[in-house]
Amino acid sequence: MSKRKAPKQNPNSEYCDFLIELADYEKNVENSMFKSKVYRKAASILANHPTKITSGAEARKLDGIGDKIGKKIDEFIKTGTLQKLEKIRVDSSAVAINQLTRVSGIGPAAARNLVDDGICSIEELKKNNDKLNHHQKIGLKHFEDFEKRIPRSEMDKHQEFIIDEISKHDKEFTACICGSYRRGAESSGDIDVLITHPTYTSKTKGKGAGKNSKLKKLVDDLTKANYITDTLSLGEAKFMGVCKLPDNESYRRLDLRLIPGDQYYCGVLYFTGSDIFNQTMRQEALDKGFTINEYCIRPVGSTGAPGEPIPVESEKDVFDILGKEYVEPTDRNK
C-alpha cells in the first residue's frame, strides 16, 4: 500500500530513494512491472545493508544487485544525481502520473485518464472530486496523513487497541499486525492485521458471508469504538479502510484479513515478509520437495503436482517441515 520513500536511518537511503523513484516510473508510466520489481528489490537489499555502500562494485557483491544498478550507483556517487531521473523529472506527463498515483485508489491507468483530462496535480484533483470513485475520494481526503510514516510507538498502540477490542467481541479471536512492524521496523507505511478464529477454517470459509460474517461484526465493533472511520471495501475475508486512535489526530490505512485457522500461520509467515525472505523460503521449499504460499505448505509429488496441505500449528512448524532453523521475524529483513 505504501508509496513512501525509505526511512532516513538507512545508511543507503539516497540510493534507495532514487531506486524507488525509478521503480515508480517504470510501473506507473512505462507499465513495466518487471523493471519496477528489479528496482524495488535492489532498494530493499540496500535498505537492509548495515553499512554505507561506497561504490557500484561494492553494491554488485550483494546478491540481487546487477551491473546496471551498480553503474547507476557509481553515477550517483560521482554526480549526485542520475541523468535518467533528470529527464523523468522534466517530463510533465510522467511527473503528473507519478504524483496522482500517490493517492490511495488511483492506479496508473486512472492517473493517465486524469492527466488526459488535464488534471495533473493533487490541488487540481481536489477541484475535480466528482471524477473520483469512493476509494479515491477517501484517499484524497486523507492524502497528507497517508503520506506520513507511522512511528513504531503508535503502531504498538494500534496493536494493543485492536487486540483489546477484538477480545471484547470474542476472546477466541487471535490477531497480530504483520508486515515491517512485526519485523521490528521503527516505522510503517500502513497497518496490516491478520485475524483468525478456531471456528473459521478452510472448510467453513464462504458459509458465513454477508451481514452475519465474523469480519463484518468485527468491523462494526471497531467502527462503534470510533477506531474505523472509513470503509473502502468489505468482503467476507478482507476489509480495507481507514482508522484513527482516539488520542491521535492522524488517519491511517488499515487492512484486516480474516484467515482460516488451518491457514493462519502460513499467512502470518507470508504477510510478515520481507518479499526477499519469502522468495528465499519458496525456493528452499521447492528444492526440498515442497510448495509454500500464503495458504499452506504441501509436498510436491513425482509428477510435479502438489499434495494435500500439511497441518501446521505455528510458524516454527513450517521451518521444521523444511528442516530449516527458525528465523525470528526481526531477522527476516533480508
Phi and psi at 57, nearest 5°, equal: -60, -40
Partners of 195 in beta bridges = 175, 258
Mean pLDDT over residues 226-250, rounded? 96
Span 13-28, pLDDT tens digits: 999 999 999 999 999 9
Global model pTM greater than 0.75: yes
- 51, 1, 45, 70: which is closest to 275 by C-alpha? 45
**pLDDT class of 60 with cuts at 50, 70, 90:** very high
Q: Which residue has the higher pLDDT, 304 or 230?
A: 230
Residue 1's pLDDT band, with cuts at 50, 70 and 90, is: very low
204 Cα distance to chain centroid: 28
| Cα distances (angstroms) measured from residue 40 to each of 4, 49, 66, 116, 325 | 12, 14, 13, 28, 28
The gap between the terminal CA atoms of the chain, to the nearest Å, is: 20
pLDDT for 2: 42
Query: What stretches of 173-213 show up as alpha helix (H) in DSSP?
Result: 179-182
> Quick one: average pLDDT of 57-65?
94
Domains by residue range for the chain, with CATH: 7-90 (1.10.150.110), 102-147 (1.10.150.20), 150-264 (3.30.460.10), 273-331 (3.30.210.10)
pLDDT at 214 over 50: yes
What b/e string do you get for 52-73 counting C-beta neighbours within 10 Å, with b at 16 or more?
ebeebeebbebebbeeebbebb
Q: How does strand 174-177 pair with strand 191-196?
A: antiparallel
Q: What residue type is 38 in one-letter code?
A: V
Catalytic residues: 72
Angle value at C-alpha 269, between 267 and 275, nearest 5 degrees: 105
**Which residue, 19, 103, 246, 264, is CA-closest to 10?**
19
The cell numbers describing 31, all together, are 507499465
Report residue 314's pLDDT band, with 50, 70 and 90 as the boundaries: very high
The continuous run of DSSP H or E covering 62 comes out as none
| Confidence (pLDDT) at 48 | 83
